[in-house]
Structure 1
Amino acid sequence: MPHSLVLPMTAHVLLSALLYVLLTVARAPKVWGIGRRADGSNPWAAFEPRISANLSNQFEWPLFFHVACLLLIFGGPSNLLVLALAWIFVAGRILHSLIQILTNNIRMRGVVFTLNFLAVIGLWLVLLYANTNS
């Protein structure tokens, strides 16, 4: 039976894979000519840089999420708090992606990023506590 943290980690990987697919679709009119408008323009041109930026974001702060999860899988506590923090992070990443790609609401994106940030800090605090009290 897989560790409970494998599911939220997989969900984040799937989000990243979905973003690669979306980026490919958004670039298709420019790169391959597929889906161009009659005038030759790309109907997804406004979304392409947002998707690209969001995809890059999936390899920044989330790195600390995956490292914390791996450390917890291989020797940290496994409890409801840890699982809740992991799913809060994943839900926040999905929401962050939607906000960044579909809107220009930087304030809301910042609020959601803070939620992601705190969830990962929480995972690291659990690790720290477990390793100082063992």
Structure 2
Amino acid sequence: MYVTAVLLPVFVQVALTFAVLIRLGMKRLSAIRGGAVVRERVIIDETGWPLDVRQASNCFRNQFEVPVLFYVLAILALITRQAGDVFVVLAWLFVLSRVVHAVVHVTSNDVRWRFGAFAFGVLVLLAMWVLFALAILLAPALP
């Protein structure tokens, strides 16, 4: 139960990343088929893609920024057995914030909502790291 409870939000975050990647692939394929790609620019940078493709691409790239800190923390918390109920609740809050962030990013892209979800997730993750660090640093030393 313990390992499952800790890893389930990780699995959901990974599934979100793949869902965003699949959406990006479909957007790119549609742009290529529709002739909306400036090939000379695409080989250099993202500006040769239509805006909706760049939007999806940015969302995908975001899945490898802050969530990396979440993945590392989940692994460390499992290894050190520092992932209790509070950790699991915070992990779910972080992942839910990432889902909201991604949905907003690939739909309306309203920066106020997107930033709100992002900021909430970052604060939750920061709290997770602080609680983890305190648990490790304040743990009694083993002989």
TM-score, normalised relative to structure 1 = 0.86
In 1, the alpha carbon distance for the partners of 2:102 and 2:112 equals: 14
Counterpart of 1:86 in structure 2 is 91
Which amino acid in structure 2 is aligned with residue 17 of structure 1?
A: F
- Going from structure 1 to structure 2, the CA distance change for 1:18 and 1:71 (only over 3 Å counts) comes to same
Deviations 1:86-110, CA, capped at 9 Å, x for gaps: 0011100010011111113111111
Counterpart of 2:12 in structure 1 is 11
Q: Which moved more, 1:45-54 or 1:11-20?
A: 45-54
Kept in 2, the 8 Å contact 1:89–1:120? The answer is yes
- Residue identity over aligned pairs, in percent, reads 25
- Going from structure 1 to structure 2, the CA distance change for 1:131 and 1:30 (only over 3 Å counts) comes to same
For the aligned residue pairs, the C-alpha RMSD in angstroms reads 1.9
| Structure 1: stretches of 5+ with no match in the other structure | none
Counterpart of 2:107 in structure 1 is 102
Partner of 1:74, secondary structure, is helix
Shift of 1:133: 1.5
Matching of residue 121 in structure 1 with residue 126 in structure 2: yes
Deviations 1:48-81, CA, capped at 9 Å, x for gaps: 1111000000000111111111110100422211
Which amino acid in structure 2 is aligned with residue 13 of structure 1?
A: V
Shift of 1:2: 6.5
Q: Which moved more, 1:100-109 or 1:55-64?
A: 100-109
Within 5 Å, which residues of 2 pair with 1:1-134?
Answer: 3=3, 4-31=5-32, 33=33, 36=34, 45-134=50-139
Q: How many residue pairs align between the two structures?
A: 127
Q: Which runs of 4+ in 1 moved over 6 A?
A: none
Kept in 2, the 8 Å contact 1:99–1:109? The answer is yes
In 2, the alpha carbon distance for the partners of 1:26 and 1:2 equals: 39
Whose helix fraction is larger, Structure 1's or Structure 2's?
Answer: 2
| Structure 2: stretches of 5+ with no match in the other structure | 38-49
Shift of 1:41: 5.3
